[in-house]
Amino acid sequence: MVTDEQKQRLEELRTRRAARQQGNQQSQQSSGFQRYVQKEKEISQQVMVEKEVMEEEKEKEISQQFMVEKEVMEEEKGDNSQPERKFWDRVTSGFGKKPEQGVVRQPKQRYGSKESASDEHSSPSGSGLVWNSALILFVLGVIQYILRFVGSAMPLLLSWGLFLVAGYAFAEKSGKKGIERISVFVPMLAFLVWYYYFGGNYDPRFLLIFGSVVAAVLALPVLFSRGQALPFEAAGFIPVMFLFLDVGLLPFLIDKLQLPVTPLLQNLIFFTPWWALLGLYLLPPNPTHVKFLDGVLGFVKVIGVLYIIFVLVVPAIPQVGYNDTLRIPGVDEFEAAQRQLREQLPQGEQPAISNVVCTLTQGVRVAECIKERQAKSLAQSYCENKEELTPDTPEFKTCFDEHYVQLVDPSRAIAGTEDPTIKQPTKVSFVFDPFLVPRETSADIGQLQYTATLEYKNPRKQEITADLECRFIRRTAKSDVAGTVMMPTTITFSQTEGFASVTCIPAEPLEGVYDLEVTATLRNVETRSRLTRFFISGGTPQQNAILTKRVTDIEGGSLQKYRISQAPAEFVRLNFGLGNTVGNPIVDVNVPIYVGL
């Protein structure tokens, strides 16, 4: 039986146990809260640290973006270098200097493709290379100019090197990679092939073939790049022009065109720092950031461009570019015999244009070419404007022939034209067989014979005699070479048609490029000419006017073709005129009549 004391003891034990359980429970609750508080504190600290890091990175990114935007704005203003850098620091910027650490260049975002962004990113380094290339070109160009005065062989070697440096500078200036960059060198290679491999051959047939091949090659980069390579190919012609000015222009004028170049033009071409001028041209805008120096460089650039234009034009200026032997006839010489006709003629082609065109195309025939072009333009203008005739008509051709002859040679003021009614005129011509006249021969195979064929048509069966001669005219050789015609040197023919072989042997070995000239002097040649005239005799001026109008109404436009005599389309023609004036087809018999031959 449980006593009261035991019950009390049991109750105390229960109370202590409950208190101990409650204490343990409270202790456990207190420890979890502390851990929770500690964890929250750690999380809060971590958030603060991450927030500070993010703010620092954001500030750094904003600062970098501001610097990039500032540099891009400076580049768009035309400044290719950093404004705070020294002048000589910019000069040496492209030679092995490492990029600054910690700074990442980012391209300015633009509307368009990714390609535009990559181009913007690559332009700063390209501008430094262009700067260095331009500086090298200028310095070496000055050195080459100085070496010319000491008679050294270095200028020619420097020209080759500077030619390549100039091409590299233009390729870097493009700021492109790939096919656009390579296309700069295509015109340069084409020029080297033409000038050094083909000897600067300017024969029209050769230029047509060679130009077609070059045009096809130039078209390939343009097609593959969708037209983007075209401006870079055009830039490739600039080093070509300067190389030609530096080493090729004088030989071309003297040896190819055979112009008697004056000492003035020789000095202008020979003693000019061409490559230094090109180096100045390639310098970027405001290269020194010194206002005075940049102004001086800009002025020198303008003077250099004007100087180049002057040197290119001066060969076409008579008495300045070449000697008086090839000058255009003086005003008094050309005007005296035809002043009256010139007063009626409107202005034709500008003489300066005729001068330049003939200088570039005709070589030794500059004076004759100028005279012919002027006469053609004046005669054409007269017939179109004064006579109001339509081109490509028989009347226009008759008018043109008459006035052209009078302008070209005043002594031939009595003009004539071809007779269209004679279908079989007498003709004599030379034909060259490629197998009998080889275009290329070797000097070590001995003396060669060159054979041409004389073909003739003699419908009136005249007995014609031909005296034969030949010679070899220099093209790239030092002098002409005489030729000897193998027997017979004289031939006679009376058949209606036929041919004869003419063999020419050079008097000395041929070294270089020559033109073979075979000449036949014809004797005992007969030709016939005819002239149509309308004779009137009215007695009074009023009656003559009525008769003249009647003839004009009847003949109409055909009256124009009767102004001058007509003869077969042969190598010789007898021109004559008859009338009150030699060119008027209506003749008043009561007025003095003139005859001209």
In the block, which residue shows the tokens 């004869």? 500
Whether the predicted pLDDT of 259 surpasses 70: no
Q: What is the pLDDT of residue 541?
A: 72
Q: What is the pLDDT of residue 79?
A: 46
Q: Which element (helix H / strand E) includes 302? A: helix 291-313
Residue 454 forms beta bridges with which residues? 430, 500
Q: What is the pLDDT of residue 1?
A: 57
Mean pLDDT lowest among 5-14, 44-53, 228-237, 440-449: 440-449
Q: What is the pLDDT of residue 311?
A: 61
In the block, which residue shows the tokens 């040649």? 525
Within 10 angstroms of residue 297's Cβ, the number of other Cβ atoms is 16
Within 10 angstroms of residue 181's Cβ, the number of other Cβ atoms is 17
In the block, which residue shows the tokens 């053609």? 376
**pLDDT bracket for residue 332 (50, 70, 90):** very low
Whether the predicted pLDDT of 256 surpasses 60: no
- Please answer whether residues 188 and 240 qualify as being in contact, where contact means their C-beta atoms are separated by less than 8 angstroms: yes
Whether the predicted pLDDT of 443 surpasses 70: no
Q: What DSSP designation does 556 have?
A: G
**pLDDT bracket for residue 356 (50, 70, 90):** low
Alpha helices in 534-594 (DSSP H): 541-555
CA separation, residue 48 to residues 43, 51, 53, 276 (Å): 9, 5, 9, 64
Mean pLDDT of 260-278: 63
DSSP 3-state assignment of 173? Answer: helix
- Please answer whether residues 219 and 271 qualify as being in contact, where contact means their C-beta atoms are separated by less than 8 angstroms: no
46-60, 144-158, 498-512 — which one is most confidently predicted on average? 498-512
Task: Considering only residues 511 and 352, tell me which one the structure prediction assigns the higher pLDDT.
Answer: 511
Within 10 angstroms of residue 406's Cβ, the number of other Cβ atoms is 22
Q: How far apart are CA 216 and CA 376, in angstroms?
A: 35
DSSP 3-state assignment of 596? Answer: strand
CB-based burial label for 197 (10 Å; 0-12, 13-18, 19+): exposed
Tens digit of each residue's pLDDT (9 = 90 or more) over 29-42: 555 656 666 776 77
Q: The tokens of 77 are what?
A: 């203003």
CA separation, residue 470 to residues 75, 515, 525 (Å): 69, 11, 22
Tens digit of each residue's pLDDT (9 = 90 or more) over 467-499: 999 998 887 767 888 998 987 889 999 999 999
- DSSP assignment string, 45-88: HHHHHHHHHHHHHHHHHHHHHHHHHHHHHHHHTT--S-TTS-HH
**pLDDT bracket for residue 353 (50, 70, 90):** low
CB-based burial label for 337 (10 Å; 0-12, 13-18, 19+): middle
Closest CA to 569 of 401, 319, 386, 433: 401
- DSSP assignment string, 402-450: HHHHHHH-GGG-S-EEE-TT--S--EEEEEE-TTTS-S---GGG----E
Q: How far apart are CA 87 and CA 290, in angstroms?
A: 9
Whether the predicted pLDDT of 140 surpasses 70: yes
Q: How far apart are CA 561 and CA 563, in angstroms?
A: 6
Whether the predicted pLDDT of 128 surpasses 80: no
Q: How far apart are CA 561 and CA 538, in angstroms?
A: 24
Q: How far apart are CA 512 and CA 445, in angstroms?
A: 15
Mean pLDDT rounded to a whole number for the chain: 70
Q: What is the pLDDT of residue 518?
A: 92
Q: How far apart are CA 19 and CA 22, in angstroms?
A: 5
Mean pLDDT lowest among 82-96, 410-424, 536-550: 82-96
Q: How far apart are CA 322 and CA 355, in angstroms?
A: 12
Q: 306 Cβ partners below 8 Å, 6+ apart?
A: none
CA separation, residue 278 to residues 79, 123, 292, 344 (Å): 20, 21, 21, 49
In the block, which residue shows the tokens 């500077």? 162
CA separation, residue 12 to residues 2, 7, 134 (Å): 15, 9, 108
Q: What is the pLDDT of residue 165?
A: 80
Mean pLDDT of 109-117: 38
CB-based burial label for 114 (10 Å; 0-12, 13-18, 19+): exposed
**pLDDT bracket for residue 156 (50, 70, 90):** low
Within 10 angstroms of residue 347's Cβ, the number of other Cβ atoms is 8
Q: How far apart are CA 200 and CA 215, in angstroms?
A: 17
Q: 174 Cβ partners below 8 Å, 6+ apart?
A: 126, 180, 181, 184, 232, 235
Whether the predicted pLDDT of 288 surpasses 60: yes
Q: How far apart are CA 577 and CA 415, in angstroms?
A: 8
Whether the predicted pLDDT of 346 surpasses 50: no
DSSP 3-state assignment of 318? Answer: strand
Q: How far apart are CA 263 and CA 248, in angstroms?
A: 17
Q: How far apart are CA 249 and CA 261, in angstroms?
A: 11
Q: What is the pLDDT of residue 127?
A: 47
Q: What is the pLDDT of residue 519?
A: 92
Within 10 angstroms of residue 385's Cβ, the number of other Cβ atoms is 11
Task: Express as a percent the part of the chain with pLDDT over 70.
Answer: 60
Task: Express as a percent the part of the chain with pLDDT over 90.
Answer: 4
- Please answer whether residues 221 and 180 qualify as being in contact, where contact means their C-beta atoms are separated by less than 8 angstroms: yes
CA separation, residue 450 to residues 301, 347, 508, 560, 570 (Å): 54, 48, 14, 48, 27
